[in-house]
């Protein structure tokens, strides 16, 4: 009921906006969602793609079972690019595209859209960089169906529909101290309050000041983390596809002089323009090979910077993994829905520890067609959500993960109802998973005196976390 009501309300808003703009959003905005899995986690939210090697497991709670607890670890909604990539995009557009002649663009199969008087580059200035996209700051206003604001509202409504019985009179929602993360948490909370009698209390956890383990961003306090680990492997990846892309576009456009670095930026232009406008004509310049290699290069980079290929990532990820297990064993008595919003890399760190997407094999610099396990953009698109469900069936308790609206079973532990893992078997899995992982404080050389474990789920009422917000992330 709840998401249907919200969807109807959003549709009515879009229809009203369409009448003002004199066009139908359905007709004016072609569907580009098939590109999202190739856009390095920068594109709008999409459900985890389950290929032919997977069974599409029903995400509904099994009929004979009763919900006991739910945990959510989520990424902020769709956003504008960061200051670094955003300023590069603004420079690229102004220096290499804004002044292309009409003769160069007439009948141009790639950039003819620049002659369209209705086209507006999505970054007229840098005022929106780092921010979540909303119906107010999107260049198409309410017509943008992919705004981070709408994604968070919809997620909140869907959450209520499935987990309403776990929401008490007051629901704390935890957010790292980044503006877009906080905005996502607030929008999610708006739906919770709209469709329940609960009062939402957003707790802001610092990601700028070193907080040790008591936060949603433990990597910020890890002094030994090297995001260039595996640099030699990443650098060995063949990027001639970018040279070929630049050459193809230059040959088709008189006066255009793109470098391979410029060509790489076009993928960001594509993804973030969809976030800000609902559609990007520049996405149409890529061929299948370019999209696939771009995605693999990002998977490779993520694997060694924020995933299982980095030597300190599992210790970092163990912070939230251990907190998740502690919530199962010793949950706060006041509430049973534990919700936190943070960044993609923090979720990737946690998943490296959990092991749902870790076979133990290292990725290499040669493109592997069958790399179907570690897909960064599948794991953490904008608005990503990792949900751990705990339900009782008869006299037994079970858990399972729902990753971006798809059940992803715990490795070798999926014999329970709904392909879940019996709770004691899951505890054994967690112990085995972390048995050879160095503890976070030691591995990261965390400053003495900083917290060594998560406490905010249990002490938020007495502490009242109110860290100041920052536009840039840590």
Give the active site residues. 76, 344
How many CA atoms does the CB half-sphere of 238 hold within 13 Å? 10
Three-state secondary-structure class, residue 132: strand
Tokens, residue 407: 């059940």
Query: 10 Å Cβ neighbour count for 432?
Result: 10
**Helix 423-434 and helix 313-329: axis angle, to 10°?**
160
Which among 458, 397, 335 has a CA at the least distance from the CA of 67? 397
Give CA–CA dist 77/257, Å, rounded. Answer: 34
Alpha-carbon distance of 308 to 192, in angstroms, equals 35
Which token pair is 410?
């715990």
Rounded Cα–Cα distance for residues 158 and 177 (Å): 25
58-63's contacts with Cβ under 8 Å and 24+ in sequence apart are 58/407, 58/418, 59/402, 59/405, 59/406, 59/407, 60/418, 61/162, 61/389, 61/391, 61/418, 62/391, 62/393, 62/417, 62/418
CB atoms within 10 A of CB 380: 26
Whole-angstrom Cα distance, residue 453 to residue 434?
Answer: 15
Phi, psi of 175 (to 5 degrees): -140, 140
Place of tokens 């590069």: 88
The token duo for 136 is 């107010």
- In a 13 Å sphere around the CA of 388, the CA atoms on its Cβ side amount to 26
């Amino acid at each position: 009921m709840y998401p249907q009501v919200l969807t109807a309300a959003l549709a009515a808003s879009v229809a009203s906006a369409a009448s003002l703009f004199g066009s139908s959003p359905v007709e004016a905005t072609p569907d580009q969602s098939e590109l999202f899995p190739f856009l390095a986690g920068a594109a709008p939210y999409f459900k985890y793609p389950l290929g032919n090697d997977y069974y599409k497991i029903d995400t509904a709670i099994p009929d004979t079972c009763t919900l006991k607890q739910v945990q959510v670890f989520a990424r902020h909604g769709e956003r504008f690019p960061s200051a670094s990539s955003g300023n590069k995009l603004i420079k690229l557009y102004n220096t290499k595209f804004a002044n292309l002649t009409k003769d160069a663009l007439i009948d141009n199969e790639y950039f003819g859209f620049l002659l369209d008087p209705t086209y507006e580059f999505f970054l007229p200035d840098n005022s929106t960089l780092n921010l979540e996209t909303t119906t107010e700051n999107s260049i198409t206003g309410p017509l943008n169906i992919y705004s981070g604001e709408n994604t968070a509202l919809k997620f909140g409504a869907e959450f209520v529909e499935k987990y309403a019985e776990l929401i008490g009179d007051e629901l704390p929602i935890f957010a790292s101290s980044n503006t877009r993360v906080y905005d996502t948490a607030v929008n999610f909370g708006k739906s919770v309050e709209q469709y329940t009698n609960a009062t939402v209390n957003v707790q802001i956890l610092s990601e700028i000041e070193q907080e040790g383990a008591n936060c949603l961003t433990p990597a910020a306090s890890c002094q030994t983390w090297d995001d260039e680990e595996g640099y030699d492997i990443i650098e060995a990846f063949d990027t001639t596809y970018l040279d070929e892309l630049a050459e193809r576009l230059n040959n088709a456009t008189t006066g255009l002089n793109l470098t391979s670095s410029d060509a790489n930026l076009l993928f960001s232009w594509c993804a973030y323009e969809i976030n800000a406008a609902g559609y990007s004509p520049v996405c149409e310049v890529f061929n299948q090979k370019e999209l696939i290699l771009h995605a693999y290069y990002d998977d490779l980079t993520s694997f060694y910077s924020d995933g299982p290929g980095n030597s300190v990532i599992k210790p970092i990820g163990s912070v939230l993994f251990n907190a998740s297990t502690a919530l199962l064993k010793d949950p706060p008595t006041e509430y049973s829905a534990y919700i936190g919003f943070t960044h993609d890399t923090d979720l990737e760190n946690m998943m490296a520890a959990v092991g749902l997407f870790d076979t133990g094999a290292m990725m290499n610099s040669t493109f592997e067609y069958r790399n179907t396990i570690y897909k960064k953009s599948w794991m953490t698109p904008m608005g990503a959500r990792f949900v751990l469900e705990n339900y009782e069936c008869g006299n037994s308790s079970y858990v399972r993960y729902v990753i971006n609206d798809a059940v992803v079973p715990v490795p070798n532990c999926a014999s329970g109802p709904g392909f879940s893992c019996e709770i004691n078997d899951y505890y054994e899995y967690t112990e085995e998973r972390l048995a050879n992982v160095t503890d976070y404080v030691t591995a990261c050389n965390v400053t003495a005196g900083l917290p060594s474990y998560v406490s905010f789920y249990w002490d938020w009422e007495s502490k009242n976390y109110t860290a100041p917000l920052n536009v840039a992330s840590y």
